[in-house]
Each structure stands twice: as C-alpha cells, then as structure tokens.
A = this chain, B = another copy of it.
Amino acid sequence: MKDKLSLMIPGPTPVPERVLKGLSKHPIGHRSNEFQATTEKTHKLLQWLHQTNQDVLTITGSGTAAMEAAIINTLSKGDKVICGDNGKFGERWVKVCRAYGLDVQIIKAEWGQPLNPELFWKALEEDPNIRAVIVTHSETSTGVINDLELIANHVRKHGNSLIIADCVTSLGACNVPMDKWGIDVIASGSQKGYMMPPGLSFVALSERAWEANSRSNLPKFYLDLKSYRKTISKNSTPFTPAVNLYFALEASLEMMQEEGLEEIFKRHERHKKATQAAMKAINLSLFAAEGFGSPSITAVSPNNIDAEIIRKYVKEKFDILLAGGQDHLKGKIFRIGHLGFVSDRDIITAIGAIETSLSSLGILNQPIGKGIEAAAFELAPKE
C-alpha cells in the first residue's frame, strides 16, 4: 500500500506527529531571541539526556560529522589510538582516524561478537602512549552492544587516555551516564533514539577532552568544536543551524522528558526481550552473541534462507521496512529496529508480519502464533 510505511529500521526511526509538526513550522531568524530560547531549552534537555554537566553541542550534519568532530577536536596527527572494531561503524572509526593520519591499533571481534574489554586493558598496559580508546557502544550493523562501561573504566584507571564513544544507537535507548561512567566524548545522531528525522548530530566533551582539545592540531573549521562551545554559552551557534530540525528536537526532547529516562530504557529493554524471544520461538537465530543484544536493534539470521527474501516480502505485503545486512552480511541477516518512538503494538505488529511472511514463504515449519505468544509474554506487565 502506498504511503503507509512503518519504519522498523535503526534509523531513520518513526517520528511522532508532535515532532513532525515542529518540523513544518515556518523558520524564524536563527539570531533572534525566540531561537535563542529554543537553543537554550534543547541544550538543557540534551544535558539531561546525556546525564552530564558538560555542554552538549549540536551540529547540523549526519552522525558521522559528530564522530569526525570527536576525533579531530581531541587528537593530533600521529597520535596513537585504539579503535574497537566489531562491525561497520567500528570500521568507520578506523577510516576517520586514518583520514587524519592517526596511528591506529585495531582491537577486533567477529561481527556478531562483542568487543573483549580485557584486550583494551592489556593494550593500555602495554603502551602508555595511547591517546584515545574509541568504541562503538551499540554496533548498529550487527545488533551487538559493547560493554562501554567496563572499557571506560579500564581507560579511566589507565589515566592517560581518552575514551571516545559512538552512542548513536544507544543514547536514548539504554543507560549511558556520561559523567558517571567517565566517558570523554559521546557522539550521537538525531534519527535514532531522538525520534527525529536525520540532519542533526550531537557531541559532548568532558573536561579532560577539552584539555586535549587545547593541544589538538588537526585542521578544522565547520567541525571546530571550540566555536560551538563559545556560541552555546550565548545560546547560539557558530553557523546557520537547521532551524526546523531544532524545532523538532525541542518537541522530541520534551516528549522524552515527559516519558522519563527510566521508562524509556525499560521500554527498549522490553522490546528487545520480546523481539529476541519471538525470533527464537519461530526458529530464527539471533545474530548477536547471547547476552549482547543491542537495546535498539535485533539482528536475525534465518540460517540457510536468503534474508532479503523475507525482508522484501515483509515490506511488500505488510509495509514494514526492516533493515538488511550490510557488506558481507547482505542476505545473511535482517535487522529489526526497535529504537525511538516504538510502542508495544509496533513490536507485536512486526513479529506478526514476520511470522506470517515466513508461513506464506513456506519457511515456517510450525503453526503461526508462537512468535507472538513469546513476545506477548515479555511485553506483559511484570509483577
């Protein structure tokens, strides 16, 4: 059916009507008092979301702009860094670092497996000159959550290094207390837990990161965070911001605050468990290692069946967009996004559609219903 698409991908995620209405307001002058008020309000709510007292800077750009800003504002050419790499977004960190001439040591895990925090500890012990440890918290390409808390803890104990994290699909889905965990840089993007369309990205720096910034010699202009920090102190921006996306951000952060962080985390946890249980109940394998499923995305491996056949059927018949596998995982997995503005109904709907599609495709070797049943159990109110 035309124009009835339901997004169950890890970004763009579904957008509430209130946010869409913010988007479609007529723009105002970005140097006006009215816009300053929006900037001030969104900044405070971003600090709340990041659980930090630091500035959270908003960049008009994709999530990758925030990732690049994280690197080029804290490091210098030739600096030794460690990149965790267990998926496509881990690989992106490596590419960004190499584009700027950093000396990159890679700590790998197979796609689907989590990064081993002890390998980071070991590497930091072996080389006291590591300037930064760079990690993807929720690896969107594989649906794996890495143990950022423990890795950050190792980095803090080591002392000389920064911990830089891509929290693009974890922030607003699970607990990421920036100050408590001692994370130095968090990068994120609007089309994820923020329940917004893409176009804004966010980066927050700790005091340690700002100290590193004063030594950083990599060239930059649009992504020079010093100019963002200077202007946010006046509730402004260094360059013309995407005014309408700020209106949307204001609406979405208000909605998030109304729901509350704890409730948001519980909802994502519940949807993760329901989705995982349902996939197991219909005899599909989970791609992420047991216990390391992301709160925002479940990657599903239909064993010997082309995952694209299932994904296409679900889209054509039920107007639900699932994500495919990327790179060598294309056809091997599909991914169910349960990130942002997703309700229990959406989970039941997606599982019902997948289960029905498998049956229609002759792949489901059991009566329809076991997936929904398993999900319903997880979604039911707990004592």
Of B5, B62, B223, the residue contacting A28 (CB under 8 A) is B5
Q: List 25 A-B contacts (CB under 8 A).
A: A7-B26, A7-B27, A12-B28, A12-B29, A12-B240, A15-B27, A21-B24, A27-B197, A29-B323, A30-B198, A60-B62, A60-B199, A61-B65, A62-B239, A62-B242, A64-B240, A65-B222, A65-B239, A68-B222, A197-B244, A199-B243, A218-B219, A222-B223, A242-B242, A245-B245
Q: Is A32 an interface residue (CB 8 A)?
A: yes
Asked if B9 and A20 sit within 8 Å, CB to CB, the answer is no
**How many copies of this chain are found per oligomer?**
2
Within the complex, the shortest CB–CB distance from A223 to chain B, in Å, comes to 7
Q: Give chain A's interface secondary structure class.
A: loop
Asked if A64 and B24 sit within 8 Å, CB to CB, the answer is no
Asked if B65 and A96 sit within 8 Å, CB to CB, the answer is no
Minimal Cβ-Cβ distance residue in B for A77? B219
Of B26, B199, B224, the residue contacting A5 (CB under 8 A) is B26
Q: How far is the CA of A64 from the CA of B59 in the complex (A)?
A: 12
Asked if A240 and B60 sit within 8 Å, CB to CB, the answer is no
The interface size bin for chain A is: 35 or more
Q: Is A380 an interface residue (CB 8 A)?
A: no
Within the complex, the shortest CB–CB distance from A12 to chain B, in Å, comes to 4
Q: Is A295 an interface residue (CB 8 A)?
A: no
